[in-house]
Amino acid sequence: MRKKTLAIFSPNQNAYSETFIQAHKNLPFNIKFYYNGLLPNSLEGVGEIIKNSRINRIRNRLNKNFSIPEQALINSIKKEKVDCVLAEYGQTGVHTLNIVKFLNLPLIVHFFGHDASMRTVIEEYGEKYKQVFEYAKYVLVVSQKMKQDIIELGCPEKKIVLTYCGPDNIFYNALPHFKTAQFLSIGRFVDKKAPYLTIAAFKMVVSKFPKARLIMVGDGVLLNTCRNLVRMWEIEGNVDFSGIRNPSEIFKLFEESLAFVQHSIIDDKNDSEGTPVAVLDAQAASLPVISTYHAGIADVIKNDETGLLVKEHDVEGMSKNMIRVLEEKGLAQNLGLAGRKRVLKYFSMEIHLGILEKLINESC
């Protein structure tokens, strides 16, 4: 029997913050990974799927109602004998819907965060999403809150599947020693992750524990703002902006740190997290998570059992939780070990990929 061919449509080929999409390449199908734009124009291992010299041949062969990039994608999908399409992000589902319908292929659309919450995205795509919901076999979401958001946007509840993107399995091998006063933050420097609020909470920690350290891994538009805050508050010696790090480097940071910290919020554009993979990675590594009751974070962290949560914008409360793991001997280790056990039981990558595999087999 021929192995089924799954086309994955992704705006990016390998964005450092999208490890969850890279994990989907491990599904047990013949994977064709299309990338570069909401209407992908490249195929991994092949490159651009349209060449100037072939434009006329493609145009003459296919329906002239489609643009040249659309015709090129249709041509490639036919050539690769695709059986099913997985669209990463709701907007990708919108931009490729007519192609998938034209080819009469089953479609699964995976929402992750901003695509289901950001005000400008909903204003532009809200009505278009309804067409996607009508055609798609399944619509995947990554948090209970997102499920409600998608229902409110018009998706039939029976099509929605809640599945949490699991952590990288490498981190289960981490063995934190819990002997330092070091906190770790991993994520893009953007408003919904509010790195400036994490720094504000940490500043209060430093006033009581002058040797405490905060390592911040990532990049983004707010990085320079955060650097300036650290300079203004004169805590440059306590905060290390570490840039983008690979998994092996993050593994080492997990082992060296006391807790993972992230003060996620709904920003002024109504942008929201899904369920941050870094939070799951930290739990897989047995680090307690100190964060907020925000989106999927509250789904995967049990307050006072696997981590410590406060309401969004409660900077003082977050600071008290950071101080608490410094003062209460054994607390960080107990929370961290409980977190690893819970992630293994409910939120592993194997569970996530197993759900996806089942849905794809049912759809094809």
Considering the domain architecture, whether residues 248 and 128 belong to the same structural domain is answered as no
219 & 143 share domain: no
Q: What is the CATH number of the domain that holds 180?
A: 3.40.50.2000
Do 139 and 184 fall within a single domain?
no
Q: Is the pLDDT of residue 125 over 90?
A: yes
pTM reported for the whole predicted model: 0.90
Position with higher pLDDT, 264 vs 55: 264
Half-sphere exposure of 16 (CA within 13 A, CB side): 13
**35, 138: one domain:** yes
Q: Give the residue among 260, 242, 233 at the shortest CA–CA distance from 321.
A: 260
For 288-304, give the DSSP string: -EEEES-TTHHHH--BT
Residue-level pLDDT at 52:
46
Q: Picking from 46-50, 85-89, 296-300, which range would have the lowest pLDDT averaged per residue?
A: 46-50
pLDDT-derived band of residue 16, with 50, 70 and 90 as boundaries? low
- Confidence band (pLDDT; 50, 70, 90) for 145? very high
Same domain for 311 and 226: yes
208 pLDDT exceeds 60?
Answer: yes
Q: What does the radius of gyration of the chain's CA atoms come to, in whole angstroms?
A: 22
Helix 277-284 with 247-256: angle, nearest 10 deg: 60
Q: 110 and 181: one domain?
A: no
Average per-residue pLDDT for the chain: 94
Q: Give the percent of the chain with pLDDT over 90.
A: 90
Phi-psi region of 313 (alpha: psi -120 to 50; beta: other; left: phi over 0): left
Tens digits of per-residue pLDDT, 171-198? 999 999 999 999 999 999 999 999 999 9
62 pLDDT band, cuts 50/70/90, is low
306 and 327 together in one domain: yes
List phi, psi (to 5°) of 285. Answer: -85, 5
* Domain boundaries, position 129: 5-166+348-363
pLDDT of residue 15: 76
Residues 208 and 307 placed together within one structural domain of the fold: yes
One domain, residues 126 and 187: no
pLDDT > 80? residue 60: no
Confidence of residue 57 (pLDDT cuts 50, 70, 90): low
Mean pLDDT of 93-106: 97
What's the domain count of the chain? 2
On whether both 141 and 240 belong to a single domain, the answer is no
322 with 177, same domain: the answer is yes
Looking at the fold, whether 118 and 176 belong to one and the same domain comes out as no
Q: What is the pLDDT of residue 50?
A: 83
Amino acid 19: pLDDT:
83
| Close Cβ partners of 53 (under 8 Å, ≥ 6 residues apart) | none
